[in-house]
Amino acid sequence: MSDTTTTPAAAADPTAIQIQINAQYTKDFSFENPNAPASLQPKEQQPNIAVNVDVSASRVAESDLYEVVLKIDADAKRDTEQLFLAELTYAGLFTIKNVPQEQVTPLLLIECPRLLFPFARNIMAESTRDGGFPPLLIQPVDFAAMFRQSAANQAAAASSGPAAVVPPED
């Protein structure tokens, strides 16, 4: 039996694309259950739960280090009664090396949040469970589709030009 180890491609080739998670952390978190204990009483009507997900990224100083921020908001209501409101801002610090400049933004807004999402999803599930509700199991998010939609929206806004200024009527 030989005593050899296989080195990862990135370690063997210093020009290979490298993505490293340096840290991940909760930046901000809030869970509100404003109508407890009434909101916890069993009722036949299912709640309406709206979940919104947003992603942003920024360079940390002038380096290969980026912060990617995943924001998840969940708002649960039954008719007009507020059941719970959960807001999570979860982030990660990523080192990105040897990536062509035109691929950095898609990498930061698609692949990095894909790595963070399971951890953020778990925080949301446990917080709703700890708040007295069934765990909120957020369905997987298609970050590539979110990126394409955002790019399309920006392109449409850019092609429409500045908004026309309409003078007030006398």
Can you give 38-66 as a three-state secondary structure string?
Answer: HHHCCCCCCCEEEEEEEEEEEECCCCCEE
Q: Report whether pLDDT(12) > 70.
A: no
The domain locations on the chain are: 24-153
Closest alpha carbon to 53 in 142, 169, 152, 156: 142
Consecutive H or E run containing 114: helix 112-130
Specify the pTM.
Answer: 0.81
pLDDT tens sequence across 41-89: 888 888 999 999 999 999 998 889 999 999 999 999 998 899 999 999 9
- What is the reported pLDDT for 11? 55
Average pLDDT over residues 102-114: 94
Q: CA-CA distance, 130 to 133, in Å (whole number)?
A: 7
Mean pLDDT of the chain: 86
User: Any idea which fold 24-153 has?
Assistant: Bacterial Protein-export protein SecB (3.10.420)
